[in-house]
Amino acid sequence: MPVSDIFRPLVVLALAALAAMLVSVSVGSADLGVADTLSVLVGGGSELHRTLILDLRLPRTLSAFATGGLLALAGALMQVLLRNPLADPYVLGLSGGAAVGALLAMLAGAAGFLISGSAFAGAMLATLLVFGLAHGSGSWTPSRLLLTGVVVAAGWGAMITLILAMSPASRLPGMLYWLMGDLSHAGQPWPGLAVLVLVCLLVFPLGRSLNVLARGSLQAAALGVSVRSLEWLIYLVASLLTATAVTMAGAVGFVGLVVPHMLRLALGNDQRMILPACALAGGTLLVLADTLARVVIAPEQLPVGVITALIGVPTFLYLLYRSR
């Protein structure tokens, strides 16, 4: 595929992402017109408007974009690694580990940085646990990794239920919102955006090898790809992406599973294009979903995870139905 064919869809997706972000910072429960928004973005506007847009909406929009991009990219990598269309960033129990970390911190009465730090630690622990267990004494295969991850994820699930059952009622809303995925306390978007950009730059040169790997490890090995080290690299990178995303916004579902599939249905299966396209489209989807979560029943708020599924399910089914 010539390089210009790769870049054309990416430019379209990037423009869509910018448009979605502009919509997202313009709407909210406080009524600001597009003119007010634009005047703030070019450096004017009243103090209240500047606070609303620059301190509240813009960081949240960028966090949404980063989270969606990280999850979609992680999902695409997991699907290549496990060669399983049902794989998503959470399939190996990473979000479960993060959730146990975050919920334990909330149960102990922690707030802010302690919760996200604890979530990140839980995600890393889950990654290492699956890494170690899947290695075992025998040989390492994607199906072994998948089974190990799924069983470990079930274990995390049981612990989450236990924590929820033991928690006082006043702590439950915070916990449930975390589990559903919620961007209202995402904090600074920069770490997430930095990880997203760095990983995109890292995986782009690997595109050809990933294309071969997606067809099967035997073909890949026959064509001179160092399969084992490539697979571990994908696993670690996808884990880092997912851990960063759940640390920012909790376990936002669906983006990581569906965005890569949607793009494959629309654009074909060239990883050099799919991976950056996932970062852009995943980010755009989550920005739009979070905008809806803020305004659907404004001034009350919904968790963004509800909206990703509500938008994603029909869109995905439509694309699947249309494809031959």
Binding site for other proteins (CB under 8 A): 28-31, 47-48, 51-52, 55-57, 109, 111, 115, 165, 168-170, 173-174, 177, 182, 184-185, 294, 298-301
- Closer residue to other proteins in complex, CB, 153/163: 163
- Closer residue to other proteins in complex, CB, 115/257: 115
**Ramachandran region of residue 83, left (φ > 0), alpha (ψ -120 to 50) or beta?**
left
- Closer residue to other proteins in complex, CB, 200/295: 295
- Closer residue to other proteins in complex, CB, 3/165: 165
| CB of 148 vs other proteins, minimal distance in Å | 33
Q: How far apart are CA 135 and CA 261, in angstroms?
A: 29
- Closer residue to other proteins in complex, CB, 103/238: 103
Residues 6+ apart with CB under 8 A from 206: 230, 233, 271
| CB of 46 vs other proteins, minimal distance in Å | 8
**One-letter amino acid of 27:** V
Residues 6+ apart with CB under 8 A from 36: 45, 49
| CB of 151 vs other proteins, minimal distance in Å | 28
Q: How far apart are CA 114 and CA 124, in angstroms?
A: 15
Question: In 3D, which of 186, 301, 164, 318 has the Cα closest to residue 247?
Answer: 186
Q: For residue 310, what are its two tokens?
A: 């509500």
- Closer residue to other proteins in complex, CB, 28/260: 28
| CB of 126 vs other proteins, minimal distance in Å | 23
DSSP-assigned letter for residue 317: H
Question: In 3D, which of 125, 75, 73, 79 has the Cα closest to residue 99?
Answer: 125
Q: Which residues of 288-321 are buried (b: 16+ CB within 10 A; e: fewer)?
A: bbbbbbbeeeeeebbbbbbbbbbbbeeebeebee
- Closer residue to other proteins in complex, CB, 111/320: 111
Q: How far apart are CA 209 and CA 122, in angstroms?
A: 31
| CB of 178 vs other proteins, minimal distance in Å | 8
| CB of 173 vs other proteins, minimal distance in Å | 6
**One-letter amino acid of 275:** L
Contact yes or no for 283/64 (Cβ under 8 A):
yes
Residue 226, exposed/middle/buried by CB under 10 A (0-12, 13-18, 19+)? Answer: exposed
| CB of 115 vs other proteins, minimal distance in Å | 8
| CB of 250 vs other proteins, minimal distance in Å | 10
DSSP-assigned letter for residue 31: -
